[in-house]
A and B are shown apart, each in its own frame.
Chain A
Amino acid sequence: MKKIALLATLITGAILLYSTKDFAPWGDPHSPASVHVSNVYIEKSVEQTHVPNIVTAILGDYRGYDTMFETVVIFSAGMAVIGVLRRPKE
């Protein structure tokens, strides 16, 4: 069992590592990830939301839908723990 697990782990790791060869060099400001969408956030977010912390702007507004569900995830976790563990009062 442990051997299989180790093998699976190694294979997964090898695949992941091998594919990093196609990535842009680390820290490259011209990598696709840095020039497509994110630069617009950096340039426009202050103008469009008046929030200097770009992360907060994206979190709260551009991707606010994600964040809403993130809150709901936390809320659900609380509910799940109550449901699983808490004993109802007599």
Chain B
Amino acid sequence: MISQNLHMFVLAAPLLSGILVNLLGRLSRRWISVLTLGSLGFSTVGAFFVLLRVLAKGSFHYTVGNWTPPYGIELLVDPLSALMLLLVSGVAFLASLSALKSVDQELPGKQHVFFTMYLILVAGLLGLVLTADAFNLYVLLEITSINTYGLIAMGKGRAPLASFNYIIMGSIGACFYLLGVGYLYILTGTLNMADIASRLPAQGGTAAVATAFAFILVGLCVKMAFFPLHGWLPNAYSLAPSGAGVMIAPLMTKVTVYLMARVFFVMYAPWQSTGHQGVHPLVVWAASAAIIAASALALSQKNLRRMLTYIIVAEVGYMVGGIWLANAQAITGALLHIVNDSLMTLCLFLAASAIVYRRGSLDFNHLGGLYRSMPLTMAAFTVGAFSMIGVPPTAGFFSKWYLILGGIEGGHWEFVVALLVSSLVNAVLFFRIIEFGYFPTGEQAHGHGHGELAVQEAPLQMVQPLILVAVALIAVGLGSGWIVNDIIRLVVPGNF
């Protein structure tokens, strides 16, 4: 029974300990780190075993409360969701190591509130990964959003304003999604995704179904900051406290993309394949435009974290385009990219957080001589940057490979070009940073050497996860053949 419920414990651990952090965390600072690391560590290990079990015994359906599926809320544990489970909990675990340190510095006296929200956010993300119920998805989406609003607004200066804009945009997205679900419900009478999918083809190609999907997908696009709807993201992510940024930035958009893939595979594609004209080429074009535009915007930034947020927007374009190309290669690429991009973003944001911890700022002109003063951080940053650019054997190369192959296969050359252009732009962006870090700035460079710039690495607790992620990036890159063959290929639906 334990093994059958294991994924629920993976979810419940951060949820319960999140609430406990609020109770006990105010008593002592020690409880916070014990509970946070303990629960997330447990979740990571648990998720790993869930993945092993799914790979060994196949995917399974789980109904909360022991009701038969359309009546109770169904959860789906398949290789992909198990992988995402591991990804979310693992990333959250690593991020929390760094967050524990930076929150002490940035938000003294509010640690317990911060980590309550942090853990509940993780639980919400884990729930999103598992759910197979359209309305449950909405509730969980709101959980993650509301905690994100709170976490971001805890930042300084303009952060509340950014968070407010995020609330407005996020609410629009959520409302659209809810409307779409309502339309589907009125047409089919059920909220279970698989059940909806089985009853939709009977509806035929009515305008109502199309509208429902349009609203669901637009809603998700707002939440994932797909290009023309991305306005809220750069400010929100760059102004958040660094402890929140390290977790939100890698996970939020990626999980939403995963949800879009779920909606696409489970509900949209079966309906669409019953003979209605698809909008696929349109979305792929939009994704290509998104990639190019976001890359161009990233070029004009003067702050490391802001630059990274625009790259996130571009990466969302990668994944959306990959999914909507709707051939096996591209979908493989998109799903692999979800994993890779989370890790890359985590790596870069952890590095940014470590730099902020020591330097206090991420403006480009404050980055001088970083390779000298924070060698380990910058080494890991470099690995993350290479992965973003797509240099083998880091992970980023391989997902890009599949995406481009998918683009070639689907005949969408604009997507191929967009990906290549964005790789080039990323190369420019990151080498600019590397150059800033490598060359000392004015006052640091006296004469020839700059030996006086002492090594001043961030605390071990921030560097450790960074090194781990950097290693993971290379390991995932080398193991991408395995991930694709044994996990992702299993979940790409057969009709692609």
CA distance A48 to B73 in the complex (A): 16
Question: Which residues in B have their C-beta under 8 angstroms from that of A24?
Answer: 186
> Which candidate, B109-117, B266-274, B282-290, B302-310, is the interface stretch facing chain A?
B109-117
B103-122 vs A, Cβ < 8 Å mask (1 yes, 0 no): 00000111001101100100
List A42-90 residues whose CB lies under 8 Å from chain B.
61-66, 69-70, 72-73, 75-77, 79-84, 88-89
Determine which of A22, A62, A73 lies in contact with B187 in the assembled complex, contact meaning CB atoms within 8 Å. A22
Does B375 sit within 8 A of A, measured CB to CB?
A: no
B187 and A23 contacting across the interface, CB-CB below 8 Å = yes
A76 and B150 contacting across the interface, CB-CB below 8 Å = yes
A84 and B150 contacting across the interface, CB-CB below 8 Å = yes
A1-36 vs B, Cβ < 8 Å mask (1 yes, 0 no): 000000000000001101111111000000111111
CA distance A20 to B154 in the complex (A): 42
B143 and A69 contacting across the interface, CB-CB below 8 Å = yes
Closest Cβ of chain A to B465, distance in Å, is 23
Question: Which residues in B have their C-beta under 8 angstroms from that of A23?
Answer: 186-187, 208
CA distance A42 to B218 in the complex (A): 34
Closest Cβ of chain A to B395, distance in Å, is 32
Q: What is the predominant secondary structure among interface residues of chain A facing chain B?
A: helix
B143 and A76 contacting across the interface, CB-CB below 8 Å = yes
List B411-425 residues whose CB lies under 8 Å from chain A.
none
Does B189 sit within 8 A of A, measured CB to CB?
A: yes
Determine which of B64, B147, B191, B209 lies in contact with A80 in the assembled complex, contact meaning CB atoms within 8 Å. B147
B150 and A73 contacting across the interface, CB-CB below 8 Å = no
Closest Cβ of chain B to A83, distance in Å, is 4
B190 and A19 contacting across the interface, CB-CB below 8 Å = no
Given the known A-B contacts A33-B189, A62-B71, A83-B110, are A73 and B65 also in contact in the complex, defined by CB atoms under 8 Å? no
> Which candidate, B33-41, B133-141, B386-394, is the interface stretch facing chain A?
B133-141
Does B366 sit within 8 A of A, measured CB to CB?
A: no
Q: What is the predominant secondary structure among interface residues of chain B facing chain A?
A: helix
CA distance A15 to B142 in the complex (A): 25
Does B188 sit within 8 A of A, measured CB to CB?
A: yes
B189 and A76 contacting across the interface, CB-CB below 8 Å = no
B186 and A79 contacting across the interface, CB-CB below 8 Å = no
Determine which of B120, B185, B212 lies in contact with A76 in the assembled complex, contact meaning CB atoms within 8 Å. B120
B120 and A72 contacting across the interface, CB-CB below 8 Å = yes
Instruction: For the complex, count residues of B whose C-beta is within 8 A of A.
Output: 56
Given the known A-B contacts A33-B186, A37-B189, A76-B147, are A19 and B211 also in contact in the complex, defined by CB atoms under 8 Å? yes
Question: Which residues in A have their C-beta under 8 angstroms from that of B64?
Answer: 64-65
CA distance A62 to B63 in the complex (A): 10
Does B179 sit within 8 A of A, measured CB to CB?
A: yes
Closest Cβ of chain B to A11, distance in Å, is 11
CA distance A80 to B210 in the complex (A): 36
Does B321 sit within 8 A of A, measured CB to CB?
A: no
A79 and B113 contacting across the interface, CB-CB below 8 Å = yes
Given the known A-B contacts A19-B208, A73-B143, are A66 and B73 also in contact in the complex, defined by CB atoms under 8 Å? yes
Question: Which residues in B have their C-beta under 8 angstroms from that of A21?
Answer: 207-208
Q: What are 26 A-B residue pairs whose CB atoms fall within 8 Å in the complex?
A: A19-B206, A20-B208, A21-B208, A22-B208, A23-B186, A23-B187, A31-B189, A32-B187, A33-B185, A34-B189, A62-B65, A62-B72, A63-B136, A65-B64, A69-B143, A70-B139, A72-B143, A73-B139, A73-B146, A76-B120, A79-B117, A80-B146, A80-B147, A83-B153, A84-B154, A84-B160
Given contact pairs A36-B189, A61-B65, enumerate 18 new A-B contacts (beta carbons under 8 Å): A16-B215, A19-B208, A32-B189, A33-B185, A35-B189, A61-B67, A64-B65, A65-B136, A69-B124, A72-B120, A75-B19, A76-B150, A79-B116, A79-B120, A79-B147, A80-B147, A83-B117, A88-B109
10 tightest A-B contacts by CB? Answer: A80-B150, A36-B189, A88-B109, A22-B208, A19-B211, A19-B208, A83-B113, A32-B189, A65-B64, A22-B206
